[in-house]
Structure 1
Amino acid sequence: MTTPPRLALALTSAAVLVGATLTSAHAADTDPSGPDTAPSAAAPVKIDSRDPDLKLPEGATLAAAKVLDIKSVVEDQSGDERREDTNADVTFALQAEVLFGKDSAKLGADAKARIAAIADEIRKQHATQVRVFGFTDDLGSSGHGVLLSRRRANTVQSVLDQDLNDPGITFEVRGYGEQYPIADNSTEEGRRKNRRVEVSFPRTAD
């Protein structure tokens, strides 16, 4: 009996499909790169040092070298004083309670010793420009905060000027009130950090 051409073609296709399925199943059973087997490490990339793409185009120049600004912050255990050093400046932040009584610009007993230590660092750095900025928390009126922070900054500047006794040093004194907080004013701990006087000056020595 002669098999019709269409039936013969169908039987042949089915045989090929079955064979391919069996081959694929066998390959899957013996494939060493399955999910439970780590792939082999790729060969290291070789770089041709003579590759023209690695060289600057004709007439091109490298950008000027830039020194990254590294900041170091040291705070004493009580949190009353913080020193911040960068490549360009030195900043001391003293909490207001360390220097003054409540709502006052009159220095307390220990304040002058702390200010004298800052004066020593100003001499060490041979600084000729000193910034003294006062800050408060956000309690009370904004106007009162600006006035109080300015009076406190003036007081600290006056003591620094006496300690340094150097007419070559100029001062910039400002009172910012509640502006530029460094902590959260919604907590007393944060407000305490914000009530501060900062003394900063350029770093000119290691």
Structure 2
Amino acid sequence: MPRPLRAVTALSLLTVLGLAGGPPAVADDDPSAPPGTVTTSPPPSVDPTSPGLKLADGATLAPAKVLDIKSVVEDLGGEERREDTNENVTFALQAEVLFPKDSPKLNPEARSRIDAIADEIKKQNATNVRVFGFTDNLGSYAHGLVLSKQRAEAVHDQLASRLGGTVTFEVRGYSEDYPIADNSTEEGRRKNRRVEVSFPRGESSGDSSSDSAGTAGG
């Protein structure tokens, strides 16, 4: 079982205000897009009677609607990270936790961490799982594409060995694209070298612990 996570680093509510009778918001759910990593703060409260609020004649503000709730839990070393939203669970593992430097071969100790993610996938009854690899910006972009894909495939292979043929996987490598931290520092680059595993939440399941990520450019 993975180490208990010790620090809750973010909890954000994404809300929207709309005009009554206006067109509904449409979410982009492209399955090839990496899991969301940007958190936003709730919008400021709006006074519907404010003279600065320009509404069409006869229009009124619709009630605020919560689109998503994101909870991020990260261990104090930043090696593991878990994000929960209303719809998805995402685990991210730093590359150094999973692989030797510049290698796609799993460390022996990495398997137990991946197996714990497989247990959570079973718990959520997920049948579609995304495994995405990322690197930092060191080295060439082309090398990062190959390495990030190979590392994602290695994690996929371990997950598939535990989950059998009941799960469909999407496996991709993104090189240095979609960083979650500043590549100008080693601390940031370490976070960007990661593998992320995401899957839909089950309708009736509890939370568990795990998190942060690893795929590396080196």
TM bucket (normalised to shorter chain) is 0.5 to 0.7
Counterpart residue type for residue 183 of structure 1: A
Spell out the pairing of 1:72-111 with structure 2 (5 A cutoff): 72-111=71-110
Where does structure 1 lack aligned partners over 5 or more consecutive residues?
Answer: 1-56
The 2-side partners of 1:110 and 1:193 are apart by 19
Counterpart residue type for residue 169 of structure 1: V
TM-score w.r.t. the length of structure 1 is 0.67
Where does structure 2 lack aligned partners over 5 or more consecutive residues?
Answer: 1-57, 206-218
Counterpart of 1:168 in structure 2 is 166
Counterpart residue type for residue 175 of structure 1: G
The structure whose Rg is larger is: 1
Counterpart residue type for residue 173 of structure 2: G
Counterpart residue type for residue 87 of structure 2: A
The 2-side partners of 1:74 and 1:173 are apart by 24
Q: Calculate percent identity across the aligned residue pairs.
A: 71
Task: Name the one with the larger strand percent.
Answer: 2
TM-score w.r.t. the length of structure 2 is 0.64
**Higher RCO (CA-CA < 8 Å; seq separation 6+):** 2
Counterpart of 1:112 in structure 2 is 111
Secondary structure at 1:173 match in 2 = strand
Counterpart of 1:182 in structure 2 is 180
The 2-side partners of 1:117 and 1:64 are apart by 40
Over 3 Å counting, the alpha-carbon distance change for 1:185 and 1:116 in structure 2 is same
The RMSD of aligned alpha carbons is 2.0
User: Displacement, 1:168?
Assistant: 2.3
User: Displacement, 1:88?
Assistant: 0.5
The 2-side partners of 1:63 and 1:187 are apart by 44
Counterpart of 1:191 in structure 2 is 189
